[in-house]
Amino acid sequence: MARISKENLKDALKVYFIMGSVNCTIHPTEVLRQAIAGGITMFQFREKGKGALIGDEKYKLAKELQWICRDNQIPFLVNDDIELAMALDADGVHIGQEDEPAEYVRKQIGDKILGISVHSYEEATAAIQSGADYFGIGPIFLTETKEDAKPVQGTTVIQEFRANGITMPIVGIGGITPENAAIVISAGADGVSVITAISKAASIPDAVIELKKSVFSVKN
Ligand SMILES: Cc1ncc(COP(=O)(O)OP(=O)(O)O)c(N)n1
Ligand SMILES: Cc1nc(C(=O)O)sc1CCOP(=O)(O)O
Ligand SMILES: [Mg+2]
């Protein structure tokens, strides 16, 4: 299967859905199918939090979700778990400041996509040197999904990065909905990463359609 070209990464980041079994009220494979029907552009498997699957069960779900992504040409990334990403030959990984060191991860994954969470200019500079392909920046708005999230920071960091000439692809994360996604793009982000507003939407395809409208309503 052809891998996503990194030249198209900014497009792939437009509506970046993140999810694991604990975020879903129906089966995760059905949630992902519906999100793809709505038009998500990238997917991250984040099996984390109370009740998260481990071991074989985690691997089996990851594999099922990866197949759905492959069938639909949606890039499939794995959160935190480099071993799993390599076992699956995923398209990439996302790591944060508390995860394995970025330089080590870059060596492990070769040219796969490497997303890194950053919160400051210093972290951004280090992430660039370690070989990051995109930044995740948050929490932009209040989130109930990540228990150890940092304080809400709004869009200031994104605006500062762009004002200082950082051209790295950026996605905002944390509390993003169809109603506020345009604010994140206006600040300079290329896309939005979303858990709850998609995974727990009354209509998952409609939520994605509305997120896309909001994202594409801004011309940067
Ligand atoms: C796209 C994206 N941005 C940020 C994060 C958060 O990563 P991290 O800080 O490592 O926190 P956990 O997700 O591991 O709890 C992300 N996963 N994706
Ligand atoms: C996984 C994650 N990382 C964040 C960060 O700030 O780095 S906030 C977050 C949770 C995002 O979920 P929701 O869309 O439900 O708010
Ligand atoms: Mg992490």
Span 148-199, pLDDT tens digits:
999 999 999 999 999 999 999 999 999 999 999 999 999 999 999 999 999 9
Distances (CA, A) of 54 to 46, 84, 98: 12, 11, 20
Cβ contact 117:137 at 8 Å: yes
Instruction: Give the CATH number of the domain where residue 49 resides.
Output: 3.20.20.70
| 2 confidence band (pLDDT: 50, 70, 90) | low
79 is in an annotated binding site: yes
155 is in an annotated binding site: no
Q: Which atom of ligand 2 is nearest to the CA of 193?
A: 14
Residue 81 lies in a domain: yes
Residue 200 lies in a domain: yes
Q: Which residue, among 132, 146, 134, 135, has the nearest Cα to 176 in the 3D structure?
A: 146
Q: Which domain holds residue 65?
A: 8-216
Mean pLDDT score, 39-51: 98
Q: Which atom of ligand 2 is nearest to the CA of 48?
A: 1
ipTM of the complex: 0.99
Active site residue 6: no
Question: What is the CA(217)–ligand 3 centre distance, in A?
Answer: 30
Of the candidates 6, 58, 146, 200, the residue annotated as catalytic is 146
**Packing angle of the helix pair 102-109, 121-130 (nearest 10 deg):** 30
Mean pLDDT score, 35-41: 98
Question: What per-residue confidence (pLDDT) applies to 141?
Answer: 98
Of the candidates 21, 117, 193, 199, the residue annotated as catalytic is 117
Residue 24 lies in a domain: yes
Ligand 1 lined by 82 (C-beta under 6 Å): no
Alpha helices, H only, 72-134: 82-88, 102-109, 121-130
Condensed to tens digits (0 to 9), the pLDDT of residues 173-187 reads 999 999 999 999 999
Number of domains in the chain: 1
Residue 2 lies in a domain: no
Residue 152 lies in a domain: yes
Q: Which residues pair with 44 in a beta bridge?
A: 18, 77
Residue 1 lies in a domain: no
Which DSSP state fits 191? E
| 127 confidence band (pLDDT: 50, 70, 90) | very high
Residue 123 lies in a domain: yes
Q: Which residues pair with 18 in a beta bridge?
A: 44
Q: Are strands 113-117 and 134-137 parallel, antiparallel or unpaired?
A: parallel
Residue 3 lies in a domain: no
Condensed to tens digits (0 to 9), the pLDDT of residues 91-112 reads 999 999 999 999 999 999 999 9
